[in-house]
């Protein structure tokens, strides 16, 4: 869910860090004033510098994602975590992470990252064979660190600006550039799967494909600790916007 993936893990961590930084309507005796105010998170010029010309639409989409999360994804994920044993959930996560190595591989090539592309190829081949189709991750035990690249990073390497802030349905906080990157990566994956057609001889290609997509979606949400409005802040939209922009900066610097 949230941009590749897994995209707001760092956001949820930073939200906990900032728990003591939010303002309240009044201070109790002995309390110190809050370190941050609503205006700081909502003032693009002073703090986040996130261009958000579509704030009305983005806020509506944020609310939609909250409702979808509350009534669909969280109940399904809770059932998944209750019914499926931990070792099986780990295998599912490993399997889909291995598939996403393909995305990292071709984007590493497009970014002229030779070492990254070779390590990623080695990981994919190792986990697909010794790791039994990616259910296990022996490549990490061999010391091959998993890389994470996507077409958003490729566009950034090519000098394309991030563009305005954009909250996507289900996928959550993004930018115009990352949304375009998601579309390209999704198209490449669809083209590869269509060419390989692994379920073509089963007689249930569509059903298996839909089931696979659903399972991957549940797995992504299961691994994402962020929960809408858990912070109890009235200005959570601004805070998430700010933190997601900082998360993108950290990715660029790593």
Residue 63 contacts residue 56 (beta carbons within 8 Å): no
Beta bridge partner(s), residue 165: 175
- Token readout for 214 is 């659903």
How would you class 220 by CB atoms within 10 Å of its CB: exposed for 0-12, middle for 13-18, buried for 19 or more? Answer: buried
Assign 245 a pLDDT band (cuts: 50, 70, 90).
Answer: confident
Put simply, whether the predicted model's pTM sits higher than 0.75 gets the answer yes
Assign 16 a pLDDT band (cuts: 50, 70, 90).
Answer: very low
Say whether pLDDT at 224 is over 80: yes
Interval 136-153 mean pLDDT: 95
When comparing pLDDT for 31 and 212, which is higher? Answer: 212
Give the highest mean pLDDT range of 9-18, 137-146, 230-239: 137-146
Look over the chain and give the mean of its residue pLDDT values, rounded to a whole number. Answer: 83
Distance of CA 211 to the CA centre of its chain: 20
Provide the 3-class DSSP secondary structure of residue 189.
helix
- Identify the CA nearest to 7 among candidates 138, 167, 160, 210: 167
When comparing pLDDT for 182 and 32, which is higher? Answer: 182
- How many CA atoms lie within 13 Å of 179's alpha carbon, on the beta-carbon side? 14
Whole-angstrom Cα distance, residue 58 to residue 148? 27
Beta bridge partner(s), residue 173: 167
Distance of CA 170 to the CA centre of its chain: 11
- Per-residue pLDDT, 252: 57
């Amino acid at each position: 869910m949230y941009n590749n993936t897994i995209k707001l893990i760092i956001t949820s961590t930073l939200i906990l860090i900032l728990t003591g930084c939010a303002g309240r309507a009044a201070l109790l005796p002995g309390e110190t004033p809050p370190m941050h105010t609503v205006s700081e998170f909502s003032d693009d010029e002073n703090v986040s510098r996130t261009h958000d010309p579509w704030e009305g639409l983005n806020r509506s989409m944020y609310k939609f994602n909250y409702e979808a999360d509350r009534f669909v994804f969280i109940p399904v994920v809770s059932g998944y975590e209750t019914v499926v044993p931990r070792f099986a959930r780990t295998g599912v996560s490993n399997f889909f992470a291995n598939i996403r190595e393909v995305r990292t591989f071709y984007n590493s090539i497009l970014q002229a990252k030779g070492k990254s592309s070779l390590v990623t190829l080695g990981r994919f081949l190792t986990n697909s064979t010794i790791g039994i189709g990616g259910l296990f991750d022996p490549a990490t035990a061999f010391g091959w660190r998993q890389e994470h690249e996507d077409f958003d990073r490729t566009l950034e390497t090519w000098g394309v600006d991030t563009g305005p802030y954009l909250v996507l349905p289900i996928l959550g906080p993004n930018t115009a550039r990352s949304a375009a990157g998601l579309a390209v990566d999704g198209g490449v994956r669809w083209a590869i799967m269509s060419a390989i057609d692994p379920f073509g001889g089963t007689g249930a290609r569509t059903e298996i494909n839909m089931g696979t997509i659903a399972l991957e979606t549940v797995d992504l949400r299961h691994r994402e600790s962020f929960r809408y409005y858990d912070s109890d802040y009235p200005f959570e939209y601004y805070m998430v916007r700010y933190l997601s922009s900082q998360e993108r900066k950290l990715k660029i610097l790593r």
